[in-house]
Chains A and B, each alone.
Chain A
Amino acid sequence: MIAGKELQGVIVATILLLIAGALPYYGSDYLLSLGITIAMFTVLATSWALFSGPTHYISLATAAFFGLGTYTAGLGIETLPFWVLIGLAGVLGAGLAALVGLATLRLSGVYFVIFTLGLAELVRQVITWGQNMTGQKGLYVLTDFTEANLYQMLVALGAAVFLVGWLINRSRLGFALRIIGDDETVAAHSGINTALAKVLLFMVSGAVAAMTGAILAPRYVYIEPALAFTPLLSFQVVIMALLGGVHRLWGPIVGVIPFTIILETISANFPNQVTLFIGIVFLVIVYFIPRGFAGLIEQMRDWSRSREGLT
């Protein structure tokens, strides 16, 4: 059953999605390239928030999943069709997430952060070492896909993420995660298998990040560990999601768009100041907008409503 307000939301989302998906037909090359970055971070940040929003676990494993997906595509591109590789990347990402989740999600949040922070670095060092042993350097991913193809794949994946997120929010699993986020002890005593619920959601987020990595592999053409497992990616995802607001499904995208545009501008003009900028945004979020732009928007809406109520 879909209530009127929800139906409105679905229609608006579908229209926006169609407009976004049609970008290659009306946008310039520059716009398309920016669009790919935005679509990529939207997918990553939204799926990140699906897990971290309700549970408050800060995952820095995005780069690990992303790199895993990139390498899956890179290694299999000669033998398997691309869509199979995307699916395979999703399965592997979910598998890695399950392993990480089972090892760490029983423990406190700090352990989880540290674990995920090191994960990308661990995988990167191991792959680099493996390549040194076999004498191989990097991988070529040569396909016929155009930028527009890849962009539309990302938009489709994004649509799937929004749909899954919407379904989860309406499901028992989503409700269970909200309870866990509020009070894990109460959740357990209400009959929720807290570890399973957290691991399941983390698997969703890991699978999506790996699929994103697989889709983008052809864009890099030549992949090597330092490129596929760049730790900065994890931080960018965290910051964009938090900037937008993780308590709403549409929150992260509100953070992704402005952040990506500003970051592109800064890295084009002042490449040395990128880290400084990211650091400042982190502090701004913590000290001034803990609920992100989505929180601000809601606050303003409530405020204007209460003013209307007065007059």
Chain B
Amino acid sequence: MDIVIIGLLLGGTYALIAMGLNLQYGVARIMNLANGEMLVAGGFTAFWFYTAGNISPLLTIFIVAPVAFAANWLIYRIMLEPLVRRAKSRGQLEVDSILATFGMSFIAVGLMLAFFGGDYFNYSFLAVPVTIMGDTYAQNRVVAFLAAVVICAILYAWITYSRTGLSLRAIAVSPESARLAGINVRQRAAIAFALGGAITAVGGALISSFLTLDASAGVAFTLKALIIVIMGGVGDVRGTIIAALLLGVVETLVASLIDPGLTLAAAYTLFILVLLFRPQGLFGRKPT
């Protein structure tokens, strides 16, 4: 039972990261393979603020979010928009954006290695036990989970009820029709990309409070976020959350019952099963 709860706690933060990626892919149509590096950067910032100024990661996210938003907005405008503009087909944009974001991912890893070195970094934030239903859990995991839930809820409400959220959903369904309805697709795509990056970075700051990260840890998170997005269905917020929780639980089960070295293998096996049996995502309709 406690394994399931630990898994759900982990899944909550995964949901946040995957929501970020889903926004970027679903709305801005960029499969961002540098997503994990944004996460690690968020984690680095939290680590730095905590060790240098003893500032809680829960406060740091209010700095991380706007900075990451601005950085991602610039990345989209400067680096990715030219690719969107020159792409003759969705397939070409896909290949270009995969290669470009791979490049950015390598550059980000290279820069982080240069500035911070290759060491693992962690810090001890709220590393005290709490008791839930008779079992004890690390408080930092619970706090990170709650923060993720709050952010997910705000994001979900915003996408569902706000005007901007509606326009983002419209673009996700059909960019051409959205344009005809008077939506500035380019500007909104940049916003979605920036927002997605900000959410991922915040997720990284939260994760760093209970996981050990290093400069090259990003790719594993990218892979997990991608798997969650595909399982949950592109553009499907609820699907993403459920897939993230599922992945968190499966990973934790495998890690504690079989071997901690197999977490990525477990995530990957789950992905293969989804690809083989429900390629449209867990809750998606069959494509027509």
Contact = CB atoms under 8 A, between A and B. Distances in A.
Do A and B contact each other directly (Cβ–Cβ < 8 Å)?
yes
Interface of A: 56, 58, 103-104, 106-111, 113-115, 117-119, 121-122, 125-126, 128-129, 132, 231, 235, 242, 272-283, 285-287, 290
B265 A280 contact: no
Given A110-B94, A286-B96, A122 B106 contact: no
A250 B287 CA distance: 40
Contacts of A121: 220, 223, 264-265, 268
Contacts of A125: 261-262, 264-265
B68 interface: no
A279 B110 contact: yes
A295 B104 CA distance: 24
Interface in B54-104: 79, 82-83, 91-92, 94-96, 98-100, 102-104
Contact of B110 (A113, A115, A119, A276): A276
Interface of B: 31, 33, 79, 82-83, 91-92, 94-96, 98-100, 102-111, 113-114, 118, 216, 219-220, 223, 226-227, 230, 258-259, 261-262, 264-265, 267-269, 271-272, 275-276, 279
Nearest to A274: B110
> Nearest 3 A-B pairs (CB), nearest first?
A276-B110, A282-B103, A279-B106
A279 B99 contact: no
Given A129-B261, A282-B103, A110 B31 contact: yes
Contacts of B227: 114, 118
A103 B275 contact: yes
A109 B275 CA distance: 13
Nearest to A273: B110
Majority SS of interface residues in chain A?
A: helix
B279 A278 contact: no
A272 B119 CA distance: 13
Given A108-B94, A272-B113, A276-B114, A286 B223 contact: no
Contacts of A115: 271-272, 275
A121 B178 CA distance: 40
A108 B287 CA distance: 12
A106 to B, nearest CB: 8
A118 B223 contact: yes
Majority SS of interface residues in chain B?
A: helix
A108 B108 CA distance: 27
Contact of A56 (B31, B95, B268, B276): B95
A151 B109 CA distance: 33
Contact of A58 (B95, B105, B230, B261): B95
A107 B268 CA distance: 17
Contacts of B108: 279
Nearest to A277: B110
Contacts of A286: 83, 96, 99-100, 103
Contacts of B220: 121
A261 B264 CA distance: 34
Given A111-B275, A275-B106, A242 B99 contact: yes
B41 to A, nearest CB: 15
Given A279-B109, A280-B103, 19 more contacts: A58-B98, A110-B94, A111-B279, A118-B223, A118-B227, A119-B268, A121-B223, A122-B269, A125-B261, A126-B265, A129-B261, A129-B262, A235-B102, A272-B114, A272-B118, A275-B107, A279-B102, A279-B108, A283-B100
Given A125-B265, A129-B262, A272-B113, A107 B106 contact: no
A272 B268 CA distance: 30
Contacts of B33: 113
Contact of A114 (B111, B230, B259): B230
Contacts of A109: 91, 94-95, 98
Contacts of A272: 110, 113-114, 118
Contact of B107 (A108, A110, A283): A283
A194 to B, nearest CB: 14
B100 A107 contact: no
Contacts of A283: 79, 100, 103-104, 107
